[in-house]
Amino acid sequence: MSKTIKPDELQEAIMKALTEYEENIEKDVKDTTDTLTKEAVSELKQTSPRRKGTRKNPYYKGWSRQKGKENKGKYTVKIHNKTNYQLTHLLEFGHATKNGRRTNAIPHIRPIEEKYNKLYEERITTVIKRRSKK
């Protein structure tokens, strides 16, 4: 079903269509970002090192995400360890001990970051392609 538009209403119709397209893309990007960050946090909780013994706030349970903020068309979500943030760098890269030796690095953040960066790129391109076909 085609809709006829008068020449003087063409600009308004194009702007309306572009605005709707932009809003739909923004919504899909937010949904995709929220979904993937939730998956990444749960995977970080599973793959993070666990320490023997009891601890009030275990390292692996501290992973969370800070809800997205919008600023000038950008939507950001921050994944961080809220309870033991000091340990992330030490565990990921290793560190010196009291007696002068070094601990082994336990890379658990970088592999997940790389995996979800690729996944995010793939899903965003499919979302945009799907929206442009409609």
User: Rounded mean pLDDT of 38-43?
Assistant: 96
Q: Could you tell me which residues come within 8 angstroms of residue 121 by beta carbon, excluding any fewer than 6 positions away?
A: none
Average pLDDT over residues 120-133: 86
Q: Using one digit for the tens of pLDDT, what is the confidence trace for 75-110?
A: 889 999 998 899 999 999 999 999 999 999 999 999
Q: Is 57 within 8 Å of 83 (Cβ atoms)?
A: yes
What pTM, to 2 d.p., does this model score? 0.81
d(CA 77, CA 84): 19
Please say whether the beta carbons of 104 and 110 come within 8 A: no
What's the token pair of residue 68? 């997205």
Given this model, what pLDDT does residue 74 score?
83
Residue in 98, 80, 101, 76 with CA at minimum distance from that of residue 89: 80
pLDDT of residue 79: 94
At residue 103, the pLDDT reads 92
- pLDDT band at residue 119 under the 50/70/90 scheme: very high
Judged against a pLDDT cut of 50, whether residue 1 lies above it is answered with: no
Whether the per-residue pLDDT at 2 is higher than 70: the answer is: no
Radius of gyration of the chain (CA): 22
